[in-house]
């Protein structure tokens, strides 16, 4: 790992997202990209700095994740290698600062890769790690995208009023980061957005928006939304148009909608309304 600087941060929270297996429709990486871009825009008080990068040579199979060649305005060729970048974000309007880890899921040496990230987390005195992912599921694109929050440690789940993760099966780098953090005594939770499997080929701003709202609600601070809501609406409309071109797909979507509505009806209650109202008040207070 190349460390550029070790900043002084206020009780930082580390958020991690990686493209690849953990990032259906780029929902998770899109959320952290949005967070970095909007929090650190000129009209916001937050500031970010690149504090570390993980060398790709040891962790990537370049036949799987190939370096990219590009040309600048003078036609000079530049090669960009797969990498993992770590940013520190100072957020004056929030009681804690953020550490953002984003990159491509590594191909090999996962234990060493996670050790490097968590060694830096220790150096920065990170007290909470949030891994952010998106997965394919049998859900309709026309309903709110659900985000599941869970902790793999029963005591932590109880303390934070979260579900206990009961998943068994293959895992990605996010699962290894969570496990490594817990073994070091760092609290770690995961957030996963459910993406319609029939709409996974294009970036999903609606999934990124759902994850942004989940981060806001859990950490209780406001993230500027920018154009993300309108982009989410446009994405949904595009999927509507595609679905209507095929009657089989349209019928399938309708069945998913009916199933989702029946499942969610008992849950459309005080808790959901309270979260929406709290989010509204946070934005109103900021304005």
pTM, rounded to two decimals = 0.87
* Mutual angle of helices 228-244 and 247-264, in 10-degree steps: 130
Cβ neighbours around 3 below 10 Å, total: 13
Q: Is 5 exposed, middle or buried (0-12, 13-18, 19+ CB in 10 A)?
A: exposed
Distances (CA, A) of 92 to 44, 87, 148, 164, 242: 10, 16, 28, 32, 43
What is the rounded distance in angstroms from the CA atom of residue 161 to the CA atom of residue 49?
A: 33
What was the pLDDT predicted at 272?
Answer: 60
CATH of the domain at 83: 3.40.50.10900
CB 90 within 8 A of CB 126: no
What was the pLDDT predicted at 271?
Answer: 62
Total domains, the chain: 1
Question: Tens digits of per-residue pLDDT, 9-48?
Answer: 999 999 999 999 999 999 999 999 999 998 876 556 567 8
Please identify which residue in the block is written with the tokens 């899921």: 105
What was the pLDDT predicted at 16?
Answer: 98
Q: Find the domain containing 130 and state its range.
A: 2-286
- What are the φ/ψ torsions at residue 169 (nearest 5 degrees)? 140, -165
What was the pLDDT predicted at 45?
Answer: 56
Question: Tens digits of per-residue pLDDT, 180-192?
Answer: 999 999 999 999 9
Point out the residues of the chain with pLDDT beneath 70.
Answer: 41-46, 264-287
């Amino acid at each position: 790992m190349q460390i550029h600087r070790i900043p002084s941060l206020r009780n930082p929270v580390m958020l991690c997202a990686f493209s690849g297996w953990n990032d259906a429709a780029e929902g998770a990486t899109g959320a952290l990209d949005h967070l970095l871009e909007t929090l650190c825009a000129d009209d916001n008080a937050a500031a970010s700095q690149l504090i570390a990068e993980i060398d790709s040579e040891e962790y990537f199979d370049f036949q799987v994740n190939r370096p990219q060649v590009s040309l600048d305005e003078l036609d000079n060729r530049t090669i960009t290698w797969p990498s993992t970048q770590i940013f520190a974000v100072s957020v004056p309007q929030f009681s804690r600062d953020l550490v953002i880890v984003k990159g491509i899921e590594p191909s090999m040496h996962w234990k060493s890769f996670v050790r490097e990230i968590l060694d830096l987390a220790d150096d920065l005195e990170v007290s909470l790690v949030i891994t952010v992912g998106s997965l394919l599921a049998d859900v309709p694109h026309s309903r709110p995208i659900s985000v599941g929050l869970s902790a793999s440690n029963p005591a932590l789940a109880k303390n934070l009023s979260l579900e206990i993760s009961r998943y068994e099966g293959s895992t990605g780098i996010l699962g290894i980061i969570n496990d490594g953090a817990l073994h070091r005594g760092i609290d770690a939770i995961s957030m996963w957005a459910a993406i319609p499997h029939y709409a996974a080929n294009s970036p999903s701003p609606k999934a990124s928006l759902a994850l942004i709202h989940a981060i806001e609600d859990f950490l209780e601070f406001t993230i500027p939304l920018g154009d993300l809501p309108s982009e989410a609406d446009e994405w949904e409309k595009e999927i509507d148009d595609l679905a209507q071109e095929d009657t089989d797909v349209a019928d399938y979507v309708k069945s998913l909608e009916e199933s989702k509505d029946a499942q969610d009806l008992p849950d459309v209650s005080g808790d959901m309304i309270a979260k929406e109202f709290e989010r509204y008040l946070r934005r109103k207070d900021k304005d």
